[in-house]
A and B are shown apart, each in its own frame.
Chain A
Amino acid sequence: MKTINLSVQVGPLKLKNPVITASGTFGYGEEYADFFDLNRLGAVIVKGLSLVPRKGNPPPRIMETPYGMLNAIGLENVGVKRFIKEKLPKLKKFTVPIIANIFGETIKEYEKIAVLLTEAGGVAALELNISCPNVKKGGIIFGTDPRTAAAVTERVKRVTSLPVIVKLTPNVTDITTIAKSVESAGADIISLINTITGMAVDVKHRRPYLKNITGGLSGPAIKPIALRMVWQVVNTVSIPVIGMGGIMTAEDALEFLIVGAKAIQVGTANFVDPEAALKIVSGLETYLANHNLNEISRLIGTLRID
């Protein structure tokens, strides 16, 4: 039997396999360590970190919708300092690369968090969540304005030696404009898509199901949109792209790899099945074996268009 090589080179990151757990769906890793060895993953991205702890939104925070779920968690997190003190030491015991997802209300906050995490060590890369409002700029979402998206990317790049992944929001008119903009600002990698803003109403009580009224839609419902956007971005930029959005199975993951994503993130699937990411790793292995391929990297970007 041929040995199967799942490893991928994603810009400066060398990963054992292309399966990464998405921010906000994998806690700080420890929640899933009961179910499998985290070292079997390509990388783990932890819950988004802010400069100071955040309490999050009042409940109800989630609602299942057809083939998906809406969430308005409100970026609840322990804050970067407690993460470094309490969570990171536990994560350092694993050999799997740990990627810290970070967000701020101002560019200055992004910079401060980036500096703290760079100095702390044990973090393989930073992923910038730019789907949050910039309070200094009238609350405009960083990721919906090409200039603001570029500015935050450039400023974080300047203060860190770590690879910077910029995670794009799909809630824009043209995703390629934003992608080009963060690429020229120095992003090492682009990841997409974050959730799509949505809403659901309880007609019995005529109330929104979420206390926050709107929330981010994730799950299989968004996969075709995510795939289309990943394909568009892959064809626009020359930096590597990490694809995500509704990936539940190895077959879903393969779709993203075939259109050109160098790696993929598993999000909502982790909620449905704590072993989902691991099953995707084995599913990719099986696919390669069945198709007489031995390197997954040779499958990336091989979409056939007649």
Chain B
Amino acid sequence: MKNRKISKIKPLSVKGRLLKKQMVAPDKCLLSLQVDLSFPAPQPGQFIMVKPSKYPHLLLRRPFCIYNFTPSLIEILFQIVGRGTEALSLLNLNEEIDILGPLGKGFPPPPRDVDNILLVAGGMGIATLSFFAQSLSRKKASRKIITYVGAKTAQDLPPIKPLESKHLSVKISTDDGSLGFAGTVVDLLQADLPSLLPHKTIIYGCGPSAMLRELVKIIDPKTKCYLSLEERMACGIGACLGCAVAIKGKGGSLSYARVCKDGPVFRSTEILW
């Protein structure tokens, strides 16, 4: 928990409205939310807490990483997994949405002299990494930015269109081999590491916790690696202590950090699996 900079961007609590809704797969939804121009530009890796303003059966907002941001427009990409995500996916155009953000501590920028930036996404983990990749690709620097995207099948593959630019490259894996490398995204990365690691490399990951755990296993602790974590949240601003994650405290003993405020991005070596 050393050098933990908490974002200086002051979060706002605002009303947005649904401008566009796309089902990018039968269970995956991309929402474009219109907000006031004054909404602060989020750092890659930050998130927002969202809830339909008028949906009567939901109590808490749900946290979503930012998939894309342009002034007055926030995009979130998610899989429908429960009541909250379902309610959002059923919203009609122009309906009001309560938005709180930007929240949390995003991805620390890579050092200037880095040669390889590896973004490793398991499934919907791509949402936050896609935004990060695009922001990295706009900076003038000679370095490789490779995004690894893993899905169960070709059908489950989240959208990767924003990553198909000349400064970025994408590598795909599917568990069943229906597209790209056959195996997990961690297997795919592992196959590449020997040729990449001789150069200065930084790794950023996001995905299901089982995938992140596997990722950490194959990375030397000396290689800088940052992971964006997920946990159920109530408030999103560090008050409820609901989104605890076990980390190494003083002397390596167990301690809990808040995913919402101390994260969602953590150094891989901080986390206790």
Secondary structure type dominating chain B contacts? loop
A69 to B60, CA, bound (A): 8
* 11 pairs of residues in contact across A and B, judged by CB atoms under 8 Å: A27-B237, A34-B237, A58-B244, A59-B231, A59-B256, A61-B241, A62-B233, A62-B240, A219-B59, A273-B13, A274-B100
Closest B residue by C-beta to A56: B256
- Tell me how far the C-beta of B165 lies from the nearest C-beta in chain A, rounded to whole angstroms: 35
Q: Which residues of B contact A219 (CB under 8 A)?
A: 59
State whether B232 touches A25 (Cβ < 8 A). no
- Most chain A beta carbons < 10 A, residue from B51, B233, B240: B240
Identify the 3 closest CB pairs spanning chains A and B, nearest first: A62-B242, A27-B239, A271-B235
State whether B239 touches A56 (Cβ < 8 A). no
Chain A interfacial residues counted at CB < 8 A: 35
Q: Which residues of A contact B57 (CB under 8 A)?
A: 66-67
A37 proximal to B (CB < 8 A): no
State whether B241 touches A34 (Cβ < 8 A). no
State whether B11 touches A34 (Cβ < 8 A). yes
Closest A residue by C-beta to B235: A271
State whether A61 touches B242 (Cβ < 8 A). yes
A219 to B240, CA, bound (A): 13
Secondary structure type dominating chain A contacts? loop
Q: A residues bordering B, Cβ < 8 Å?
A: 24-27, 31-32, 34-35, 47, 55-64, 66-69, 71, 73, 76, 219-220, 268, 270-275
- Most chain B beta carbons < 10 A, residue from A32, A47, A62: A62
Closest B residue by C-beta to A21: B239
Q: Which residues of B contact A35 (CB under 8 A)?
A: 11, 13
Closest A residue by C-beta to B246: A58
State whether A32 touches B51 (Cβ < 8 A). no
State whether B256 touches A76 (Cβ < 8 A). yes
B255 proximal to A (CB < 8 A): yes
- Tell me how far the C-beta of A288 lies from the nearest C-beta in chain B, rounded to whole angstroms: 25
State whether B60 touches A56 (Cβ < 8 A). no
State whether A59 touches B60 (Cβ < 8 A). no
Of B13, B60, B231, B243, the residue contacting A64 (CB under 8 A) is B60
B126 proximal to A (CB < 8 A): no
- Tell me how far the C-beta of B102 lies from the nearest C-beta in chain A, rounded to whole angstroms: 12
Whether A64 contacts B83 in the complex (CB less than 8 A), given A55-B255, A270-B235, A274-B100, comes out as yes
Given contacts A62-B233, A69-B59, list 16 more A-B pairs with CB under 8 A: A25-B239, A26-B239, A31-B239, A32-B237, A35-B11, A58-B244, A61-B232, A61-B241, A64-B84, A68-B59, A71-B234, A73-B240, A73-B241, A73-B242, A76-B256, A274-B237
B156 proximal to A (CB < 8 A): no
B193 proximal to A (CB < 8 A): no
Q: Which residues of B contact A55 (CB under 8 A)?
A: 254-256
Q: Which residues of A contact B238 (CB under 8 A)?
A: 27, 31
- Tell me how far the C-beta of B272 lies from the nearest C-beta in chain A, rounded to whole angstroms: 10
- The contact string, 1 if C-beta is below 8 Å from chain A, for chain B 121-154, is 0000000000000000000000000000000000
- Tell me how far the C-beta of A135 lies from the nearest C-beta in chain B, rounded to whole angstroms: 21
Q: Which residues of B contact A57 (CB under 8 A)?
A: 244
A273 to B61, CA, bound (A): 9
- Tell me how far the C-beta of B193 lies from the nearest C-beta in chain A, rounded to whole angstroms: 31
State whether B231 touches A56 (Cβ < 8 A). no
- Tell me how far the C-beta of B248 lies from the nearest C-beta in chain A, rounded to whole angstroms: 13
B98 proximal to A (CB < 8 A): yes
- The contact string, 1 if C-beta is below 8 Å from chain A, for chain B 240-272, is 111111100000001110000100000000000
A123 to B187, CA, bound (A): 56
State whether A34 touches B60 (Cβ < 8 A). no
B2 proximal to A (CB < 8 A): no
Q: Which residues of A contact B244 (CB under 8 A)?
A: 56-59, 61, 73, 76
State whether A271 touches B100 (Cβ < 8 A). no
A59 to B254, CA, bound (A): 13
- Tell me how far the C-beta of B66 lies from the nearest C-beta in chain A, rounded to whole angstroms: 19
- Tell me how far the C-beta of A120 lies from the nearest C-beta in chain B, rounded to whole angstroms: 22
- Tell me how far the C-beta of A119 lies from the nearest C-beta in chain B, rounded to whole angstroms: 27
- Tell me how far the C-beta of B233 lies from the nearest C-beta in chain A, rounded to whole angstroms: 8
Q: Which residues of A contact B112 (CB under 8 A)?
A: none
Of A25, A64, A66, A68, the residue contacting B240 (CB under 8 A) is A25
